[in-house]
Amino acid sequence: MSEVKKRAQLSRDKKAPLGPDLDLADFSRHGGEWAYDPDYQHFAPEERGHLLKAGIELTDEDHAGTFLQADTRVVHCQANRPGVEVLPITQALATHDWVAQHLWQLVQVDADKYTARTELDLDNGYFIRALPQVKVEQPVEACLYLRTDRFAQHVHNLVVVEPGAHLHIITGCTTHPGVRSGLHIGVSEFYVREGGHLTFTMVHNWAEDIHVRPRTGVLVEAGGTFVSNYILLRPVKTLQMYPTVTLAGEGAVASLNSIVIAHPGAQVDIGGRVILKAPHSRAEIVARTITTGGLSISRGHLIGLAPDIKAHLECRGLILAPTGQIIAIPELEGHVAGVDMSHEAAVGRIAAEEIEYLMARGLDEEEAVSTIVRGFLRVKIEGLPPGLEEEIENTIQETGKGL
Amino acid sequence: MLAIEDLWVNIDDKEVLKGIQLTVPLGETHILFGKNGSGKSSLLMTIMGFSRYQVKQGRILYKGEDITHLPTYARARLGLGLSFQRPPTIRGVKTADILMACAHGRISPQALAAAYDFTPFLEREINYGFSGGEIKRSELMQLLAQDPEMVLLDEPESGVDLENLQVVGEIIGRLLQKDRRRQHREKSGLIITHTGFIMDYVNADRGYIMFDGRLLCHGNPRDILQDIKNFGYEECSRCLR
């Protein structure tokens, strides 16, 4: 048994330090036997609409590549542009000798039971790579889909942006409209090589009884840029993630943006950590959280280990329901002289004077609240599919109703 | 256009307006003077229907319709528009978004902004980091987009530097159709001012002094301003012209 497997075995029941503990025996490991679907013919209109809410368009047009995994089965996978590789991770391991050496480097296999189970009982995942100097404007679309009720999905993803390459990935993680409960564990390791640029937009569209445990590690080399956009607008039961980005080379940049709505009954614990190890590296974490009745914990952690780094953390929360709760936990650590680090955190409700100000311009109360919420959630995210932008707009309108 | 009858208003348990009686006919602009805390802003906020201002007695009529208990947005839609003295900052909401909402498709915010050198502010968050003069310009641009028939201005010149004063004055002149003869004007105004500067840009027909929640004095606004300069508010309040 390999060393990694041994560590995983020892941690198969290890409780995670954050988030509600889950009994993995409550979930099934029997996913559906879904067939490969080269033309997206196996999706009912209702499913298509649901997938679109997670940013998934089910087309190979206008995408540099596509990957779709339903439960354990990869049902669609192809690269559409030269210089872009898209493969199931199991196939990538067989294709490239070096892939194995990139797994469990940025996320520890024994971090908790979720990482351990992913190693011990893998359901595939995606491998996406942009070759050196390949700059792709169109996004690669990846979808991790829970299509069977109570299923626990374990995936391990690897993204490599080679030197000078540019890549945008839109990942939509969602459930079949008929699925009510389940667990998604997604381990992701991203390597942004020298001068590379990765924009990773992740949209979650779950259901009321779904539990989600992403585990993400990112390494950015000199002159590289990593931009993460995370969007959670729909209900979920529990979600806990704390991606860690290491800026290892001079001038590396990380920008983590998140837009989260915690619905009644949800426990959402989302963080972001950036370790600035190299001089002149820069990081920004911007979190916008709204609760309409759920609990949202918004964490941010910046660690400055080198001089001449600059980092800023901004957590802002809006409580739109009496039972909602937001906890903002910003942390700054400066370990050497010459770091420039700051944070800004604010949690509250919409001020009545803001609503009345807009009402004096002729907006009724609902329109005024929607305008304020839309402004609050305005975080610049490039390249979203129009269908998803419409979905975001609809959600904002709904959020403004009845407040 | 606007008639206020025996209006008594509280904020919480404090009386801030005490029996206000006021009529602003179509096409006229009236000026409100008064020291800080006399109730001038409370009167404008009450006319606009802000929830903090509780009407205990009296009525507000707009074009003959009783609007005393209408919500703020309904008053705005009927044709009342207010330029705030100290508007709130709304993070994330762009100035262009508000101009768009005010305009209801009647006018392009971009064209409006271009006409008054306001384009750089369109993409900025409303009132965030604006200087005093920029806030006033933003307020007036919103009113231009809204195009109200009853224009309420709360100290439109306060905090405005000399360079911007003229622009502010010109916008107010446009809002109140200064270039038209009175019988052809379709807009009316009620303006709070401390300096009287704004009277160079509008046709001010009548002035009042407000003192301790009451309108005590009325007359030619320039004469009133001169009296205030000569004798101060206390003396003016005793005169009971």
What tens digit of pLDDT does each residue of A195-240 get? 999 999 999 999 999 999 999 999 999 999 999 999 998 899 999 9
Size of interface A-B (CB pairs under 8 A): 72
pLDDT value of residue B32:
94
End-to-end C-alpha distance for chain A, whole angstroms:
57
Mean pLDDT of A355-369: 94
Mean pLDDT of A149-177: 96
Are the beta carbons of B88 and A359 separated by less than 8 Å?
A: no
What tens digit of pLDDT does each residue of A93-102 get? 999 999 999 9
Higher pLDDT, A38 or A342: A342
The secondary element (H helix, E strand) that includes residue B83 is strand B80-83
Are the beta carbons of A358 and B82 separated by less than 8 Å?
A: no
CATH architecture of B2-239: 3-Layer(aba) Sandwich (3.40)
Q: What is the pLDDT along chain B (241 residues), one digit of tens a residue?
A: 999 999 999 999 999 999 999 999 999 999 999 988 999 999 999 999 999 999 999 999 999 999 999 999 999 999 999 999 999 999 889 999 999 989 888 888 899 999 988 999 999 999 999 988 899 999 999 999 999 999 999 999 888 888 788 888 889 999 988 888 878 889 999 999 888 888 888 888 999 999 999 998 888 999 988 888 888 877 766 665 5
Are the beta carbons of A371 and B97 separated by less than 8 Å?
A: yes
pLDDT value of residue B138:
94
pLDDT value of residue A317:
94
pLDDT value of residue A170:
92
CA distance A316 to chain B (A): 10
Are the beta carbons of B90 and A353 separated by less than 8 Å?
A: no
Partners of A378 on chain B (C-beta within 8 Å) are 92-94
Residues B39 and B212: their CA atoms lie apart, in Å, by 7
ipTM of the complex: 0.94
Residues A267 and A212: their CA atoms lie apart, in Å, by 10
Domain boundaries, chain B: 2-239
Q: Taking a C-beta distance cutoff of 8 angstroms, is the pair B205, B181 a contact?
A: no
Mean pLDDT of A343-364: 93
Q: How confident is the model at residue A41 (pLDDT cuts 50, 70, 90)?
A: confident
| Percent of chain A topping pLDDT 90 | 80
Mean pLDDT of A152-161: 98
Q: Which candidate from B72, B92, B104 shows the least CB-CB separation from A360?
A: B72
What tens digit of pLDDT does each residue of A109-131 get? 999 999 999 999 999 999 999 99
Partners of B139 on chain A (C-beta within 8 Å) are none
Residues β-bridged to residue A334: A304
Which of A357, A364, A381 to substitute to test the interface with B, most B CBs within 10 Å?
A357
Amino acid at B206: R
Q: Residue B140's closest chain A neighbor by CA?
A: A361
Are the beta carbons of A375 and B82 separated by less than 8 Å?
A: no
